[in-house]
A and B are shown apart, each in its own frame.
Chain A
Amino acid sequence: VSSDCFVTGVGVLPFQLDGDRSFEDMALDAARLALADAGVDLGDVTALVVGSRYAHPGAGQRVTALVGGLRVPVYNIENACSSGTTAFALASRLVAADPDEIVLVIGADETATVGRGGVTLPDADYAGAAGVTHPAAYAMKTSRYCATFGYRVDDIAAVAVKNRAHAIENPNAAFRTAVTLDEVAASPVVAEPLTLLHCTANANGAAAAVLAAAPGGASCAPPVRVAAAEHAAGPLADRFASATEAVACRAFRRAGCGPDEIDVAEVYDAFTIAEVAAYEDLGFCERGEGARHVSQMRLGERLPVNVSGGALGRGHPMGATGLAQVAEVVTQLRGAAGPRQVHGARRGLVHTLGGNLRVLTSNVASVVILEAT
């Protein structure tokens, strides 16, 4: 028997392109925000889960070492861009297994500091050693997608235009200015056909959430129920479908709903083509139709996607990204998103991919479904 799990608090720090704050400082500040939002004292926390791609080993202990008297189990998660979402999924399972748990989840990274000039690939990755950069892999995916389904690169660039427009209303986003299709096309080529504005930017940042089996006190913000938090890893055959497809099926089954019942979504968009592929993998549209649906995913349209600005608008401190996605959907489901509120949002979805380059698509996919209470 598993108990319900609620997100009772969230917190996001402003993401910074040239931040000089340490991993530990950012993680603690995000934790403070999330605990205050949940109305929970630090001393009530029973477990800490930390997601980070680039933190030094013992990420969570580096945080608890700065907190006098905190003696809780610590779980450190590294799953590339999906580190934060994986940490969240693990936390939800801790709560489901034991209703007395109050789990603090933190995602943080100093990606801007680590990755100036581009995040390097591990030497052990044969593709990285052959000169295939992350943007190059997504560039090839873009070209194949366009050739297979008959699109122009501009159709994919529309994702960057949409998400940057959304980011204007997100005070925590690193990029709060609009871009046009012409500006995307005219930005420097990174890997043909992808230009700089098709790609997210390395950033420093942190985000956090508090999960518990009980909805929390009356004075707190409305809790949001975790209807599903699914995750899968493993190399996949090279095809347009990704790990997302199987994980999404499992998540929808567990949540007892379908893709047409999602009101708001934060999906992986480190590169524009990733968001288009996600529409298809998540079942928001048919295979090959994704690029035709970008305009329907704007705020005010059928299914607003990446209203926070996504990684294209927020910047991408990898460990923090998943929890920033969760925080956005939680805020939306509370009806507290202000000028970027999706009206009447009752059910939301978070999707994050992570992976190296051994396969075209991904070797980690996480899908979380959240419901208003």
Chain B
Amino acid sequence: MAADVLEHGRLVGSRCPACEEVRFPRQRWCACGGVPERLLLDGRGHVLVTSTVRKGSRIFPTPYQVAQVALVEGPVLYGRSLDELDVDDEVVLVGAGDDGRTVAFRRQT
């Protein structure tokens, strides 16, 4: 499973001390030669785009919404929407699912 992606609801990314690039998922080595350091990301960001999945998922019953989100630190990632989201909504990442390890987004309150 995607075990190392979330830790206690925080997203596990990395920052390279040499080139300062913040990335998700966590990088173990950087092409610039640096060794990125583990970094728990803030988890806030804004919605770039959404889609409602109506067919073809073996993970969740359909329909459900997914979103692509740009985090304030820079990385762009996908996740499931827990609220009905629109483009430009300010969201925060949460760990969903039984094990709290599924990437999902909620609207910031």
Listed in ascending order, the chain A residues whose CB lies under 8 Å from chain B are 117-118, 120, 123-133, 135-137, 139-140, 143-144, 147, 188-194, 196, 237-238, 357-358, 360
Look across to chain A and name the residue whose beta carbon is closest to the beta carbon of B74: A237
Pick the contact of B1: A117, A123, A189 (CB < 8 A): A123
Look across to chain A and name the residue whose beta carbon is closest to the beta carbon of B76: A238
Pick the contact of A126: B25, B49, B52, B56 (CB < 8 A): B25
Q: What's the least CB distance linking A357 to chain B, in Å? A: 7
Pick the contact of A131: B5, B66, B77 (CB < 8 A): B66
Check A117 against B56 for contact (C-beta < 8 Å).
yes
Pick the contact of B76: A129, A137, A188, A360 (CB < 8 A): A360
Check B59 against A128 for contact (C-beta < 8 Å).
yes
Check B76 against A126 for contact (C-beta < 8 Å).
no
Check B51 against A131 for contact (C-beta < 8 Å).
no
Q: Which residues of A contact B80 (CB under 8 A)?
A: 130-132
Main secondary structure of the interface of B (DSSP, over half): strand
Q: Which residues of B contact A124 (CB under 8 A)?
A: 1-2
In the complex, chain B residues 51-106 whose Cβ is within 8 Å of any chain A Cβ: 51-60, 64, 66, 68, 76-80, 87, 101-104
Range class of the B interface residue count:
20 to 34
* B48 part of interface (Cβ distance < 8 Å): yes
Pick the contact of B49: A117, A140, A196 (CB < 8 A): A140
Q: Which residues of A contact B101 (CB under 8 A)?
A: 129
Check B56 against A130 for contact (C-beta < 8 Å).
no
Further 7 A-B residue pairs, CB within 8 A, beyond A126-B2, A126-B5, A140-B51: A127-B103, A130-B103, A132-B79, A144-B48, A188-B54, A189-B54, A191-B51
Check A127 against B54 for contact (C-beta < 8 Å).
no
Alpha-carbon distance between A132 and B25 when the two chains are bound, in angstroms = 16
Check B49 against A144 for contact (C-beta < 8 Å).
yes
Q: Which residues of B contact A126 (CB under 8 A)?
A: 2, 5, 25, 77-78, 103
Alpha-carbon distance between A136 and B59 when the two chains are bound, in angstroms = 13
Q: What's the least CB distance linking B4 to chain A, in Å? A: 9
Check A131 against B60 for contact (C-beta < 8 Å).
yes
Check B104 against A130 for contact (C-beta < 8 Å).
yes
Known: A132-B78, A137-B78. A125 touches B54 (CB 8 A): no
Check A143 against B103 for contact (C-beta < 8 Å).
no
Q: What's the least CB distance linking B78 to chain A, in Å? A: 4
Q: What's the least CB distance linking B58 to chain A, in Å? A: 6
Check A192 against B54 for contact (C-beta < 8 Å).
yes
Known: A123-B2, A126-B5, A147-B87. A190 touches B55 (CB 8 A): yes
Q: Which residues of A contact B104 (CB under 8 A)?
A: 130
Alpha-carbon distance between A136 and B81 when the two chains are bound, in angstroms = 13
Check A192 against B51 for contact (C-beta < 8 Å).
yes
Look across to chain B and name the residue whose beta carbon is closest to the beta carbon of A120: B58
Look across to chain A and name the residue whose beta carbon is closest to the beta carbon of B5: A126
Q: What's the least CB distance linking B73 to chain A, in Å? A: 14
Alpha-carbon distance between A190 and B51 when the two chains are bound, in angstroms = 10
Check B56 against A133 for contact (C-beta < 8 Å).
yes
Pick the contact of A189: B55, B57, B60 (CB < 8 A): B55
